[in-house]
Amino acid sequence: MTLGLFDDLPATPQAPECAVVLRGLALPQAAALLQAVDAVTAQAPFRHLITPGGQRMSVAMTNSGALGWISDRGGYRYGSTDPTTGLPWPSMPAVFRQLAHDAAEAAGYPGFAPDACLINRYECGTRLSLHQDRDEGNYDHPIVSVSLGIPAIFLWGGSERADKARRVGLWHGDVVVWGGPARLRFHGVRPLAEATHAMTGALRINLTFRKAG
């Protein structure tokens, strides 16, 4: 696979785009991140949430941090407890917190202190349809997104759902950061192609860090 088949995002902050991809930034911590994912999911297992419209999401999700993102018949929202166990979400692992902070700083957002980390698990065929991330308390903080395991084609759209989306390849260790005027851009993930990765098998794991409260 080569980058030339895809569109790309800039590697340094650059208005008005305001999204950057930090290629391989998470590679040194990848094993520790995946170990921490296992520790989180031992307490708060992956589950397929139901959309407000009643559809089962093909992505399996869980959370760590003071707040976790959930969806059910009642809508999309953040909450401090895991609805499946009634317990608080597992605390955010230090290796998560540090990477999110450092990636945000590298992208031009110093001092990022996320209170929520949504963990997404994709299998071959799993997709995430175009959406905006708009359930957070305010949009002043960036979002940091870490890709681990098998590759994905990320869709980077515009401010309207119908806007043409760029296709951005994301590989193990890549980190995407966006904020500012780009904070509410539509985005999604194409159905994953079959692949395997030495560290995750046939899975892609995505961590998205937010300041939600």
The answer to whether 118 and 63 are in contact (CB under 8 A) is yes
Instruction: Rule CB under 6 A: say whether 128 interacts with ligand MD6.
Output: yes
Cβ–Cβ < 8 Å for 47, 61: yes
Q: Tell me the number of residues near ligand MD6 by CB under 6 A.
A: 11
Under the criterion CB under 6 A, does residue 141 sit at the interface with ligand MD6? no
Residue 162 in 3-state DSSP?
Answer: coil
- Count of residues for the chain? 213
By CB under 6 A, is residue 189 in contact with ligand MD6?
Answer: yes
**String marking each residue 191-210 x if it binds ligand MD6 according to CB under 6 A:** ---------------x-x--
φ, ψ of residue 169 in degrees (nearest 5): -70, 130
CB of 133 to ligand MD6, least distance (A): 4
Residues 126-145 that bind Fe ion (CB under 5 A): 133
Give yes or no for a contact between 117 and 209, defined as CB atoms under 8 angstroms apart.
yes
Residue 147: closest CA among 54, 23, 61, 44: 23
Tally of CA atoms within 13 A in the half-sphere of 8 that contains its CB:
12
User: Whose Cβ is closer to ligand MD6: residue 3's or residue 87's?
Assistant: 3
Q: Is 126 in the site for ligand MD6 (CB under 6 A)?
A: no
Task: Return the H-helix or E-strand segment holding 35.
Answer: helix 30-43
Q: For residues 93 and 73, what is the distance between their CA atoms, to the nearest angstrom?
A: 30
**What mask, x for binding ligand MD6 by CB under 6 A, covers residues 142 to 161?**
-x-x--------x-------
**120 binds ligand MD6, rule: CB under 6 A:** yes
Q: Minimum CB separation from ligand MD6 for residue 61, in Å?
A: 10
Nearest distance, CB of residue 182 and ligand MD6, angstroms: 10
Bond preceding residue 16 cis, omega within 30 of 0 = yes
Q: Taking the complex as a whole, how short is the minimal distance between the CB of residue 133 and Fe ion, in angstroms?
A: 4
Judged by the rule CB under 6 A, the positions of this chain that interact with ligand MD6 are 120, 128, 133, 143, 145, 154, 176, 187, 189, 206, 208
